[in-house]
Amino acid sequence: MLTVAFTPGEPAGIGPDLALRIPGLALNARVVVFADPDLLGQRARTLGTHLRLIPYDPNKTAPTGPDTLEIVPHSITNAVHCGRTDPTNSPYVLACLKAAADSCLKGELSALVTGPIHKAVINKAGIPFSGHTEFLASHAGGVHPVMMLMVPGLRVALATTHLPLTAVSAAITHDSLEHTLRILIAELQGHFGIPQPRILICGLNPHAGEDGHMGREEIEIIGPVIESLRALNAELLGPLPADTSFTPARLKETDAVLAMYHDQGLPVLKHMGFGRAVNVTLGLPFIRTSVDHGTALELAGTGQFNDGSLKAALNTAIAMASRS
């Protein structure tokens, strides 16, 4: 049986609550949580849920039971109160993430699924942090990551990730865009079983630059990169105006859309399936998926949240790992 790691993320948010839902899910894999056992026990008491924590032992058969959770324990710094973030707990959050990623890098675990992290709190702790995607890419040795979110009927990959809008144009270079497309094609073929993926590639500017009248990135970078990759076993369409790239007619036979920046493509995807979407980091030397939502501090400890994205992230990771 495949074994998958889960990191709950921000301890004051709904990440621990998500972890407590795992035993009740019908999954074709063993799931191990990297977290503080006292934190999970406290959250279970808050929710009125019985919890039996078992230290993970790869040499033993996975325990069963609707209230049983396997754990790799890590100690948190300070007491956690639902909905109240504490920057001093940020090193704990990253320690859990590093340990789970290291287990995947060593081949001990088949995939990593992550809960939501509060970026601002980690930065308040004096730790520069722009997101899971960039952190895991750096931790894996400085690989080129590609962020892709997916819901039934739509996959959106990003040419740039967590950047201010003023930095996007400079970040779209011939080399980076070519690397992104090569990774996207290879991962769609290898982990998603699509032999010849059809990819729609958005332009950066309105109307895809209007023949250079609204910007020249399409003429000088995006178009030439697409032409240079024509020999690959993929159908690349673009650069296309972003405002018409997400119409039902265009998406009907499309395997993925490559957007140039975060808020060009993700609002459409989240409108289609918020709460059911999955975030996948392509280009890592291990499989990583994540829930598509934030920490939901106001819902922590209430039980009033949708676990659809958790189920989708776990099942996507399991499906990807089964093809590896």
* Across 11-27, average pLDDT: 96
Q: In this model, does residue 5 exceed pLDDT 90?
A: yes
Note the pLDDT of residue 1: 82
> What pLDDT band is residue 274 in, cutting at 50, 70 and 90?
confident
Q: In this model, does residue 213 exceed pLDDT 90?
A: yes
> What pLDDT band is residue 194 in, cutting at 50, 70 and 90?
very high
Note the pLDDT of residue 258: 98
* Across 167-174, average pLDDT: 97
Taking the CB of residue 322, how many other CB atoms lie within 10 A of it? 13
* Across 70-88, average pLDDT: 97
Q: In this model, does residue 275 exceed pLDDT 90?
A: no
Q: In this model, does residue 324 exceed pLDDT 90?
A: no
Note the pLDDT of residue 29: 95
Note the pLDDT of residue 317: 97
**pLDDT tens, residue by residue, 80-125:** 999 999 999 999 999 999 999 999 999 999 999 999 999 999 999 9
Residue-averaged pLDDT of the chain: 95
Q: Which domains does the chain have, with CATH numbers?
A: 1-143+286-324 (3.40.718.10), 146-283 (3.40.718.10)
Q: Enter the pTM of the model.
A: 0.93
Note the pLDDT of residue 38: 97
* Across 248-264, average pLDDT: 95
CA dist 323 and 20 (Å) reads: 28
Of 37-41, 64-68, 209-213, 287-291, least confident by mean pLDDT is 64-68
Residue 133, both tokens: 């995607």
Hey, what's the torsion of the CAs at 273, 274, 278, 281, to 10 degrees?
110
* Across 21-42, average pLDDT: 96
Reference 70, options 61, 79, 78; nearest CA is: 61
* Across 299-311, average pLDDT: 93
- Residues 6 or more apart from 321 whose CB is under 8 A from it? 2, 4, 29, 110, 111, 287
- CA-derived radius of gyration, the chain: 20
Note the pLDDT of residue 318: 97
Note the pLDDT of residue 102: 98
> What pLDDT band is residue 276 in, cutting at 50, 70 and 90?
confident
* Across 156-185, average pLDDT: 96
Note the pLDDT of residue 68: 95
The percentage of the chain sitting over the pLDDT mark of 90, rounded to a whole number, equals: 92
Q: Are 191 and 324 in contact (CB under 8 A)?
A: yes
Cα dihedral 170, 259, 180, 123 sign: positive
* Across 217-246, average pLDDT: 96
* Across 130-137, average pLDDT: 93
Note the pLDDT of residue 264: 96
Taking the CB of residue 170, how many other CB atoms lie within 10 A of it? 9
* Across 24-47, average pLDDT: 96
Note the pLDDT of residue 171: 97
